[in-house]
């Protein structure tokens, strides 16, 4: 990624964070594979401000770390050395993310649209979905085939979550 592309990306993330904190709502297009099969590249995620203290296991939450947004499943809430934190993980990933602290917290995914239609609920992750996610996460070849099939023949490239959508302001 060039310096100019990195600068544009950082500007988008800063703008989206400010919009979410100001208006309480923002939309993003998912581009990564870490949440397969719950979230697919191209899904539109609606994220709303939500209290860190009120987050519950099973929700898909949005946090910012190292200049990137992550929408991952909340596994548990905890406290260590007097500091509150969340444990999250992408549904297709084998290990948990590092602890998510209130300073990184942005909100909760409240709606998902796929191919122009809003899903009836934000996808949950049962044992079958978790197993499929792990399979897709560990096999690039299988993931590529499934993405091509799902997208009608052309797999998209991997990129982190973060495209701000028009009209999300």
Report the pLDDT value the prediction gives residue 50, as an integer from 0 to 100.
Answer: 93
How many structural domains compose the chain? 1
CATH code (residue 111): 2.10.109.10
DSSP string of 106-131, one letter each residue: EEEEEEEEETTEE-SSPPP--HHHHH
What number of helices (H) and strands (E) belong to the chain?
3, 8
pTM of the model: 0.83
Backbone φ and ψ for 156, nearest 5 degrees, come out as -85, 160
User: With 80 as the cut, is the pLDDT of residue 153 above it?
Assistant: no
Cβ-count burial 91-108 (b if 16+ within 10 Å, e if not): bbbeeebeebeeebbbbb
38-97: pLDDT as tens digits: 999 999 999 999 999 999 999 999 999 998 999 999 999 999 999 999 999 999 999 999
What pLDDT sits at residue 94? 92
Domain membership of residue 71 (yes or no) is: yes
**169 within a domain of the structure (yes/no):** no
Query: What pLDDT, on a 0 to 100 scale, did the predictor assign at position 136?
Result: 86
75: containing domain: 3-164
Domain membership flag for residue 9: yes
pLDDT confidence band for 163 (50 / 70 / 90): low
> What mean pLDDT do residues 140-144 have?
86
Closest to 111 measured CA to CA, from 103, 127, 102, 122: 122
């Amino acid at each position: 990624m060039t310096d100019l592309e990195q600068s544009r990306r950082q500007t988008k993330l800063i703008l989206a964070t400010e919009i979410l904190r100001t208006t309480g709502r923002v939309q993003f297009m998912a581009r990564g594979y870490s949440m397969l099969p719950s979230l697919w590249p191209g899904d539109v995620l609606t994220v709303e401000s939500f209290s860190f203290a009120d987050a519950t296991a099973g929700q898909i939450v949005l946090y910012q770390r190292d200049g990137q947004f992550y929408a991952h499943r909340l596994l548990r809430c905890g406290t260590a050395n007097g500091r509150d934190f969340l444990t999250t993980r992408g549904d297709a990933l084998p290990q948990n993310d590092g602890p998510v602290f209130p300073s990184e917290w942005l909100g909760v995914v409240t709606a998902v649209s796929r191919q122009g239609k809003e899903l009836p609920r934000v996808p949950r992750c049962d044992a079958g979905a978790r197993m499929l996610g792990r399979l897709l996460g560990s096999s690039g070849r299988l993931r590529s085939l499934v993405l091509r099939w799902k997208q009608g023949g052309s797999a998209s490239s991997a990129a982190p979550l973060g495209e701000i959508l028009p009209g999300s302001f």
